[in-house]
């Protein structure tokens, strides 16, 4: 009978669309989970890099502090540029030798003429 066929075809199309919608929802959900996982991995990698940079800055500060006073002067800063760990750290941040005096002045927030470890790390 034609009316039964039309009804059956309508039900079949509705079920097919519902099933397709369900499959699409699962795919979108999995893609969202993967993206969130990727963001979390990126955040962890960024934190790891920041920690490495902080450790490099501390190592550079210790290498620059010739008199072990806990602070570095402009002379220690400029003179220590050729120490490998210092040069590597500064080059990682695109700091060239000709920028050292300006950088020191910017980091010396209290204008004391020397940088404490905290000033060096916080202002770098």
Give the model confidence (pLDDT) of 63-97 as tens digits.
Answer: 888 888 888 888 888 888 888 888 887 887 788 88
Whether pLDDT at 25 is above 90: yes
| DSSP code for 1 | -
What's the pTM? 0.54
Mean pLDDT of 26-55: 85
Q: CA-CA distance, 116 to 15, in Å (whole number)? A: 71
User: For residues 23 and 98, what is the distance between their CA atoms, to the nearest angstrom?
Assistant: 61
Cα 61–Cα 88–Cα 79 angle in degrees, nearest 5: 55
Give yes or no for a contact between 62 and 73, defined as CB atoms under 8 angstroms apart: no
Contact 100, 77 (CB under 8 A): yes
The 10 Å Cβ neighbour count of residue 109 is: 11
What is the per-residue pLDDT for 64?
80
Distance between CA atoms of residues 100 and 34, nearest Å: 44
């Amino acid at each position: 009978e034609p009316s039964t066929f039309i009804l059956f075809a309508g039900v079949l199309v509705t079920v097919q669309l519902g099933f397709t919608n369900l499959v699409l929802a699962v795919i979108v959900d999995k893609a969202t989970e993967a993206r969130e996982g990727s963001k979390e991995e990126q955040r962890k990698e960024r934190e790891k890099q920041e920690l490495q940079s902080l450790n490099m800055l501390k190592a550079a500060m210790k290498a620059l502090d010739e008199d072990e006073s806990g602070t570095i002067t402009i002379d220690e800063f400029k003179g220590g540029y050729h120490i490998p760990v210092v040069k590597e750290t500064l080059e990682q941040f695109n700091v060239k030798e000709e920028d050292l005096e300006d950088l020191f002045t910017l980091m010396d927030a209290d204008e004391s003429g020397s940088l404490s470890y905290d000033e060096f790390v916080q202002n770098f």
